[in-house]
Amino acid sequence: MFLGPSLSHTEARNILDADYRPPVKRGDLVSIYGEKNVVVGIIDGIFFSDSAVGHREIIGLLERGITVVGGGSMGALRASELKDFGMIGVGRIFDMYSSGVIEGDDEVAIIFNPETLEPLSEALINIRYNLERAVDRGIITESQSKDIINELKAVYFPERSYEKALEIACEKLKRNEFIRLREYLLNCARDLKKADAELVITTIKNLIQQEK
């Protein structure tokens, strides 16, 4: 399972005891080609500091009969691109990529501490998700949400955060609207990448149990 920073390896092991590895990068999958009775989970991957995992590498696993499940981040993006080749995609982010609601790897891109795998910025998809929830609750309008996202999308991904989103919102919203949104994000924001990462692991756990 290629994981981190969407979910810590410790939290993941509470769901399934597995071989957890750092975010996948190009070349990491080739060593698995010869393994038997394995299921590969791809959640996090390297985008910019190294070459991203190639489509051919994943297809190589599928061609050898190895089940590959993706979701949460890089895994969601690759699963949306390779679902017709047999890669299994799960989670809301996978659905959003598959349906064309979001495009581009910068939606899930963040920077993280390479030693601890802890995130150091916030994924645009998480902020987008929580602004849409704020729209559903009548805190801001859909138009206001889109304005904030459009401006945040122009911010280089390592600099994206809820603080930056609120800085943008402060310029676009009335004072009472801004206060309500700030309180909502501070107290009720959900981590969509983490939820989808947990779903990938649960899906693989269920697949393994079905095969027993």
The model's pTM: 0.95
Q: Which of 47, 45, 10, 11 is nearest to 29 (CA)?
A: 45
Q: Which pLDDT tens digit goes with each residue over 96-141?
A: 999 999 998 999 999 999 999 999 999 999 999 999 999 999 999 9
Tell me the mean pLDDT in the region 180-184.
98
Structure tokens at 200: 């990938």
Nearest to 93 by CA among 5, 195, 184: 195
